[in-house]
Structure 1
């Protein structure tokens, strides 16, 4: 009897998950539409909807404004039954977002990073957490999942950060450390992979089955989406095209350090030779460099074009292996890529037989946060469904009333 009840309960939950998934994906549907989309018998769909409604996971909704409705009752997911947190640990800022279970970002807050050690990181993360949770009555109790994005790869067995661009964090047990200040369940994931998932969900990759996200900033990393799925590689290190300590093409890297060296070399040579651009002020940051190039300063234009050549070389490595039709640029330098798009595209036609389209991220510096919220929401649903159905199922009520059998 116990085995039969467990099997029936599992089947009911699986049906409920399928129905709720259809509602989350489509916004609102009638009972008949749910059954038709899932290939499910109408009585089965009706029972699943009734169970979900009793658990507070779905509710009746107004019908669509267009089209015939024939008196059908529509349902929508109750996306506010839980909230998720997304945290993006950048070089200068810790960015955070609060989201609902539909993956929508409800609030965002950025806090200066401070030092590069673990205590400073935890202080900044705590500040972001407190700011985002302050308006919530339930506080951390209302959070059903948290995803933290960091540069590098987290060892799944030890929870330690590997291939980090920050020496002070290399090998640190970041999952354990972050769990002391963030509500769980908690996961730590690669920032560029999450950015790729953000673009897939709500950005330039929405209608693309295959594309690469290339982040160019303090370091260079890429996230690869094939057949609509993120590809992590055997050890989670797919896309680490330019990680510290092993840069076979460091002299041609488009990362920030290499770009700063390029600026010093070109401006230093111009000053030494007293050539035409010697009166240009030396840019102190990539932002100033791109501003000067947009203003038409000759030497800045030259340096930006050289940076475009380096970016094209990195894209070519990816394109020659996986032949993606689209590469989306992000990161502090990549988001300035508008001025570089034409030279990047021109160079790509010389480097690869089938050059991909190159676009700038539509999500800007929020791509990683959007990805984190999307993943956190997707992973929170099964836990939320299980807990709420268990709390409202007739069998649980009968068991509690009768006592243990």
Structure 2
């Protein structure tokens, strides 16, 4: 099998049992008949696949309901306390950790400053944070499936290696292996926006949507892709580098070394730089530029609109390639979306092929910082649970 078509052995695909479980998780309580309709499986197949899930304690039956003629239906739902996961979001100045259960409920959250970005320092900080979280949620201690870590940059999920993180200046750090050695727990490492996409698929706006994208704006511009129910990461984990789509022939240089990238026009640093140029005075941040824009500065409103047009050009490329039902815009930068959303929509409609832009819902969805850590936890839950389901009945 060639490298282009090979899936790493550690990569988890949803599979038939996973489709059934995901349907129960995202729509439950739900009866077997409705799961069959949602997955395209026969009701007999669903019944067969559900039996080992019931025996293993992942799901449970609740009181029968009567809806129209025929036998009463017995709804199924996930048992949240069956499994727990720890999620960690690693940034240059701070580490955020959470514990979630199988229902996506957040049981605890901790924020811890990081003393530098040296890998040894980060591993030590994360190890201490994990120990603290396990003390905070003692009922999860024996049922914690592992640790999910989300980090910005190019992450090879199959090997747990951070190939390159611009914010941390890490080249080729085997983070999963080092954290497993330090904590004694299984560890999965994923690009932080990919993790957020998984969280939206199971517990957020992507529930029940087969194909969608999450695009985040702020200090960086990122993207996570869910295609036909699976996270699409590419052959080495670099899929979804939306911020490095070229949307201009010239302009400021991106941190990747090229010019014209979406990120070089629409991230926080680029907006602050363009704002200074527009008004001829120092602007400390995109947040300050937004405050002045909302106070009435037309030149600064145009800076945000131009950033929105750059996003719209990039989104047109994305939807032309993917034709998704939904694009979720999130990240700390969406606080300024009231100024630039119309520009995004107009440019997307102008550049997208045929009716693709109208076929795609564009949803602006602000999320707290802890949601990124929860997304990493979902990545670990997904790997553990779907892996276990694949072995049930074999």
Shorter chain as denominator, the TM-score bin is 0.7 to 0.9
The answer to whether the 8 A contact 1:328-1:361 is kept is: yes
Pick from 368, 373, 379 the counterpart of residue 377 of structure 2. Answer: 373
2 CA distance for matches of 1:157 and 1:342? 39
SS in 2 for 1:125: helix
2 CA distance for matches of 1:227 and 1:42? 19
- CA deviation after TM superposition for structure 1 residue 44, in Å: 6.0
- CA deviation after TM superposition for structure 1 residue 145, in Å: 2.5
Pick from 345, 359, 362 the counterpart of residue 358 of structure 1. Answer: 362
Pick from 244, 268, 279 the counterpart of residue 256 of structure 1. Answer: 268
Call closer, same or farther: CA 1:18–1:208 in 2, change over 3 Å.
closer
- CA deviation after TM superposition for structure 1 residue 166, in Å: 3.0
Please report the RMSD computed on the Cα atoms of aligned residues, expressed in angstroms: 4.0
Name 1:4's counterpart in structure 2. none
- CA deviation after TM superposition for structure 1 residue 384, in Å: 5.8
Name 1:214's counterpart in structure 2. 215
- CA deviation after TM superposition for structure 1 residue 38, in Å: 5.5
The answer to whether the 8 A contact 1:87-1:94 is kept is: yes
1 CA distance for matches of 2:30 and 2:363? 35
- CA deviation after TM superposition for structure 1 residue 56, in Å: 4.9
TM-score (norm 2): 0.74
- CA deviation after TM superposition for structure 1 residue 370, in Å: 4.1
Give the stretch that moved more between structures: 352-361 or 33-42: 33-42
Structure 1: where are the runs of 5+ without partners?
1-13, 272-281, 391-405
Give the stretch that moved more between structures: 15-24 or 209-218: 15-24
Describe how 1:266-305 pairs up with structure 2 within 5 A. 266-268=278-280, 271=281, 282-305=282-305
Call closer, same or farther: CA 1:371–1:30 in 2, change over 3 Å.
same
Give the stretch that moved more between structures: 365-374 or 167-176: 365-374
2 CA distance for matches of 1:39 and 1:267? 65
1 CA distance for matches of 2:30 and 2:361? 36
Name 1:309's counterpart in structure 2. 309
Residue deviations 1:124-159 (CA, integer Å, cap 9, x gap): 423532442223336644311321111122335754
Name 1:198's counterpart in structure 2. 199
The answer to whether the 8 A contact 2:271-2:304 is kept is: no
Name 2:88's counterpart in structure 1. 87
- CA deviation after TM superposition for structure 1 residue 292, in Å: 2.3
TM-score (norm 1): 0.73
SS in 1 for 2:300: helix
Name 1:165's counterpart in structure 2. 166
Residue deviations 1:41-100 (CA, integer Å, cap 9, x gap): 899689x36x945x5555564445987997887665433132111212234432222111
Call closer, same or farther: CA 1:19–1:153 in 2, change over 3 Å.
closer
Q: How many residues align?
A: 362
Name 1:39's counterpart in structure 2. 43
2 CA distance for matches of 1:100 and 1:346? 40
The answer to whether the 8 A contact 1:105-1:373 is kept is: no
The answer to whether the 8 A contact 1:196-1:367 is kept is: no
2 CA distance for matches of 1:349 and 1:25? 31
Structure 2: where are the runs of 5+ without partners?
1-14, 245-254
The answer to whether the 8 A contact 2:92-2:168 is kept is: no
2 CA distance for matches of 1:81 and 1:216? 35
Name 1:111's counterpart in structure 2. 112
2 CA distance for matches of 1:16 and 1:237? 28
